[in-house]
A and B are shown apart, each in its own frame.
Chain A
């Protein structure tokens, strides 16, 4: 289903374009973004926690920028694996045009979700994809105009770009899963939080462990 939206950003086109390529901006603006790491000019590895009513799904994957005409248009594509939930692919064709001193962003939204979440969530995939796109481009405006972003409580402060380096994650996962020392975790095997930490498999486990080690020690 082809959906579209528009957003006026009170900033010049170049600034908007730079933000689209700046991991710090993307981390702030992508709804539910938990971690981000720029791999190359076009590719950014990212982990997004999606909240949709009672549904919680954590997608780990990458965001690609393609069909680029500098500061005018591009295509943003996100592909992420969501563990047992399945996987998600979202793409958005973005066009930037001058609107006086501001920039008008017109964007299309297309989403395709595979695995179980796609099977069940079919009814609301498009509206939730549209909502996330609207939120992203809306946040972009607030980010560039310096007004405060709707910060959900409990979200860690943005890691410095380079420190959360996912790339050199140990290929084979550590033997015993590490334990965070806060009172909330009651045992290595406790399904609940362990599920939260390790649910998407080693790749995320690596990420989660690396991040936590960096933060708590």
Chain B
């Protein structure tokens, strides 16, 4: 039963869809190969653009000659920065609420200063993609190299080369937190443990690469952009402002999106260049990044070095955490969500689950001549959780306390909310105790420990890794809005009774495969008590849906769902009011049930919504003169009680390490997660499984390998190791439901819990397996070589 919003609102008695594993209706077209992605769309006079990307990490163009290339068959033109300078203005990727953050202006095409291998500099437009690539090979371009900043640990040295001399140094952002009596606590603590954690830079590798089809209509001065994107309204605002077009004449349409994970929530220079070229050439221009350019142009993530220490008492009470996070981003802060948020979240979230009061943290975000870095699924959580849970495990083993017991002693207890964490994060209500005891039973923790001990006798080394985590979801304007970015923190839904008696829901949160359209249908169907088959959901079109933020930071269900709930509620009340006018009854006596209007007491049938719709649309003459039925309702919702609604979960990973080859076999993985009300258990579990495997990619396999000249050495699917089916474990999932009181729906986010905790759990499991050898590995990805070096079987070649 949905908690009633206000006394006079009627919500259907029993729930048929919310809470049920409803299969996704829009999956059927995908199963038949009838999805429509951007590359599937063909428009008349459509041309293709291909970008010449800087082959070096830092330099300056000295000569450019395209005279031969332009003579090639099918070539429409070759363009550089100056050709679109007066069409699209540059941007700066900073946020006001990250004080002192700086980043230089960035242009759609680099005006000569080459800042990373992969930066778009020239555009070749031709009739076909093949012809454009043929011409690309005949551009005659020469450049001078400049000293490269490719090692983040030396980027702030006084003698380090400067990427942007005008900025004075390579520092993008710094921030510190210093709460409680940190120095005193560490000085007097019984036990202090210290460790450094290295996280390899890696990227999302979405199946569908970034795709844009920009169609500027010169006659109407309107721009339609088919975009593979997560935030259509954000891009509408950016294109409108930077191309000087009225917002109403910019339309962004996101049909099927082939995976995004945060990679497609940003704006990219080649997006702006493609749109600008469409305006310049007055014809549709299609840009489909191929896989090779994706590795050097999609945003990267997770490039961090974190030094951490923890202070605890002899009897195992954690007193203080301290961290120093150094993160090397790209030459520009990404626009508009910036390259500072990942590091900022590491500071906010480290130590999240625990009761300590003393916390000091320093963040330095430094520029590098490597692809720009920004939000990718989990954002700062995989770093913060791995640092926290790694050092907590080190403390537990130093104190000789079982790591599960140590966590049970120190996590915030479920009865102690609301409260503020040591880093200042405001926590509404979490369930660490419930999650820890649930996963203990689910994974048969004691049984695993017995098996681990027994197998050590046969020199088989297994490890059990635990990772408790907090996760921010349902963000309010605190994330971006207050910093001046026009990124909507609210979402809107319009729910309409159609003439045929069906319900159409238009909502501003989009679908990228995670199933948000399905849960919106579930919510609308239950709220209006309609068969779900009669509910149709439309998203991803700025000209159709209300204005809203889109998909990011695990907010789809929590924010979008609540907007759908409130709009459906409003429509429900309007329909009852309409039925009252028709049947001369008072609202308390009627209810909606299964697409009909019924008497509350005796459930007598009064009318079917289909008939009411026809009457309203076609026979208004039969209605009381003074009554005008309203058959659609729009509601907007934003979460304003907390900066973010935090939720939590816990992972356990069970691995076997071959101590001769350093190979790790993932045996099993468990997750207990609390995302508040679970609207669709199947879809939530699948979100967690997909995110866990992405986390496993980061901890074991994925890294962008750069040499000192800032050149990528493994930019193909053969050498950049994305996780594949054979090596992945089965993942068992359970839920605790601590509903948020910030909304009637009570749902919190679930999309990033998997990638937040999996790296920590797998790292801890590997180090648990290596414990008999007193070896630890804290540099991700944990490759066989790093394990062999830790075991002393091989000298450290290069970490």
Direct contact of A and B (CB under 8 A): yes
Residues of A bordering B, CB below 8 Å? 81, 83-84, 86-87, 89, 112-116, 118-120, 122-123, 125, 172-173, 177, 189, 191, 195, 198-199, 201-203, 205
List the A residue with the shortest CB-CB distance to B136. Answer: A84
B196-209 to A contact mask, C-beta < 8 Å, 1/0: 00000000000000
List the B residue with the shortest CB-CB distance to A117. Answer: B55
Chain B residue contacts of A189, Cβ below 8 A: 73
Chain A residue contacts of B142, Cβ below 8 A: 81, 203
Task: Knowing that A201-B138, A202-B68 touch, tell me 19 more A-B residue pairs with CB under 8 angstroms.
Answer: A89-B709, A112-B709, A114-B55, A114-B57, A114-B117, A114-B711, A115-B55, A119-B713, A119-B715, A120-B292, A120-B719, A122-B712, A122-B713, A172-B65, A173-B65, A173-B140, A189-B73, A198-B68, A201-B68
Chain B residue contacts of A198, Cβ below 8 A: 68, 138
- CB contacts under 8 Å to A, within B701-736, are 705, 707, 709, 711-716, 718-719
Interchain CB contact (< 8 A) of B296 among A119, A125, A191, A199 = A119
CB distance from B704 to the nearest CB of A (A): 10
User: Does B716 contact A120, Cβ atoms closer than 8 Å?
Assistant: yes
Q: A112-B707, A189-B73, A203-B140 are in contact. Are A119 and B712 (CB under 8 A)?
A: yes
CB distance from B64 to the nearest CB of A (A): 11
List the A residue with the shortest CB-CB distance to B130. Answer: A191
A112 to B708, CA, bound (A): 9
Chain A residue contacts of B140, Cβ below 8 A: 173, 201-203
Chain B residue contacts of A114, Cβ below 8 A: 55-57, 117, 709, 711
In the complex, B76 has a CB within 8 A of chain A: no
13 A-B pairs, CB-CB below 8 angstroms? Answer: A87-B55, A114-B117, A118-B712, A118-B713, A119-B295, A119-B713, A120-B292, A122-B712, A122-B714, A122-B719, A173-B140, A201-B140, A203-B142
User: Does A113 contact B137, Cβ atoms closer than 8 Å?
Assistant: no
User: Does B718 contact A113, Cβ atoms closer than 8 Å?
Assistant: no
Chain B residue contacts of A201, Cβ below 8 A: 65, 68, 138-141
CB distance from B254 to the nearest CB of A (A): 29
Q: A84-B136, A84-B137, A195-B137 are in contact. Are A116 and B719 (CB under 8 A)?
A: no
A36 to B233, CA, bound (A): 57
Chain B residue contacts of A89, Cβ below 8 A: 709
Interface residues of B, count at CB 8 A:
30
List the B residue with the shortest CB-CB distance to A116. Answer: B292
Chain A residue contacts of B57, Cβ below 8 A: 114
A86 to B54, CA, bound (A): 9
Most buried by B among A89, A116, A173, A195: A116
User: Does A202 contact B65, Cβ atoms closer than 8 Å?
Assistant: yes
List the A residue with the shortest CB-CB distance to B798. Answer: A1
Interchain CB contact (< 8 A) of B56 among A87, A122, A202 = A87
User: Does B138 contact A119, Cβ atoms closer than 8 Å?
Assistant: no
Chain A residue contacts of B714, Cβ below 8 A: 119, 122-123
In the complex, B134 has a CB within 8 A of chain A: yes
CB distance from A91 to the nearest CB of B (A): 12
User: Does A83 contact B137, Cβ atoms closer than 8 Å?
Assistant: yes
Chain A residue contacts of B68, Cβ below 8 A: 173, 177, 198, 201-202, 205
Chain A residue contacts of B55, Cβ below 8 A: 86-87, 114-116
Chain A residue contacts of B715, Cβ below 8 A: 118-120, 122
A118 to B705, CA, bound (A): 11
Chain B residue contacts of A118, Cβ below 8 A: 711-713, 715
List the A residue with the shortest CB-CB distance to B711. Answer: A114
A27 to B68, CA, bound (A): 30
Chain A residue contacts of B711, Cβ below 8 A: 112-114, 118
Q: Which 10 A-B pairs have the closest CB atoms?
A: A119-B715, A115-B55, A122-B713, A201-B140, A84-B137, A202-B140, A114-B711, A114-B55, A120-B716, A86-B55
User: Does B718 contact A123, Cβ atoms closer than 8 Å?
Assistant: yes
B496-535 to A contact mask, C-beta < 8 Å, 1/0: 0000000000000000000000000000000000000000
List the B residue with the shortest CB-CB distance to A189. Answer: B73
A199 to B140, CA, bound (A): 10
CB distance from A4 to the nearest CB of B (A): 15
User: Does A122 contact B705, Cβ atoms closer than 8 Å?
Assistant: yes
CB distance from A15 to the nearest CB of B (A): 35
- CB contacts under 8 Å to A, within B95-142, are 117, 134, 136-142
A191 to B130, CA, bound (A): 12
Chain A residue contacts of B137, Cβ below 8 A: 83-84, 195, 199
List the A residue with the shortest CB-CB distance to B117. Answer: A114
CB distance from A208 to the nearest CB of B (A): 13
Chain A residue contacts of B719, Cβ below 8 A: 120, 122-123
Chain B residue contacts of A123, Cβ below 8 A: 714, 718-719
A116 to B140, CA, bound (A): 16
Chain A residue contacts of B134, Cβ below 8 A: 191
CB distance from A197 to the nearest CB of B (A): 11
List the A residue with the shortest CB-CB distance to B53. Answer: A115
A116 to B712, CA, bound (A): 9
- CB contacts under 8 Å to A, within B54-89, are 55-57, 65, 67-68, 73
A118 to B118, CA, bound (A): 12
List the A residue with the shortest CB-CB distance to B705. Answer: A122
Chain B residue contacts of A203, Cβ below 8 A: 140, 142
Chain B residue contacts of A177, Cβ below 8 A: 68
A116 to B117, CA, bound (A): 10
List the A residue with the shortest CB-CB distance to B56. Answer: A114
A87 to B73, CA, bound (A): 26
A81 to B55, CA, bound (A): 10
Chain A residue contacts of B705, Cβ below 8 A: 122
- CB contacts under 8 Å to A, within B133-189, are 134, 136-142
List the A residue with the shortest CB-CB distance to B118. Answer: A119
B43-59 to A contact mask, C-beta < 8 Å, 1/0: 00000000000011100
Chain A residue contacts of B295, Cβ below 8 A: 119
Chain B residue contacts of A115, Cβ below 8 A: 55-56, 117
CB distance from A130 to the nearest CB of B (A): 16
Most buried by A among B67, B140, B296, B715: B140
Q: A125-B713, A189-B73, A203-B140 are in contact. Are A119 and B292 (CB under 8 A)?
A: yes
CB distance from A52 to the nearest CB of B (A): 15
CB distance from A123 to the nearest CB of B (A): 6
CB distance from B502 to the nearest CB of A (A): 51
Most buried by A among B136, B137, B719: B137
Chain B residue contacts of A83, Cβ below 8 A: 137
List the B residue with the shortest CB-CB distance to A206. Answer: B140
A140 to B222, CA, bound (A): 67
List the A residue with the shortest CB-CB distance to B69. Answer: A201
Chain A residue contacts of B712, Cβ below 8 A: 118-119, 122
CB distance from B277 to the nearest CB of A (A): 21
A118 to B117, CA, bound (A): 11
Most buried by A among B57, B711, B716: B711
A172 to B137, CA, bound (A): 18
Chain A residue contacts of B709, Cβ below 8 A: 89, 112, 114
CB distance from A1 to the nearest CB of B (A): 8
Chain A residue contacts of B139, Cβ below 8 A: 201
A86 to B712, CA, bound (A): 12
CB distance from B797 to the nearest CB of A (A): 9
B369-380 to A contact mask, C-beta < 8 Å, 1/0: 000000000000
- CB contacts under 8 Å to A, within B645-702, are none
CB distance from B572 to the nearest CB of A (A): 56
A172 to B66, CA, bound (A): 11
A89 to B708, CA, bound (A): 13
A34 to B85, CA, bound (A): 42
CB distance from A120 to the nearest CB of B (A): 5
A205 to B134, CA, bound (A): 16
Chain B residue contacts of A195, Cβ below 8 A: 137
CB distance from A209 to the nearest CB of B (A): 12
A116 to B705, CA, bound (A): 14
CB distance from A80 to the nearest CB of B (A): 12
A173 to B117, CA, bound (A): 28
CB distance from B565 to the nearest CB of A (A): 48
A172 to B65, CA, bound (A): 9
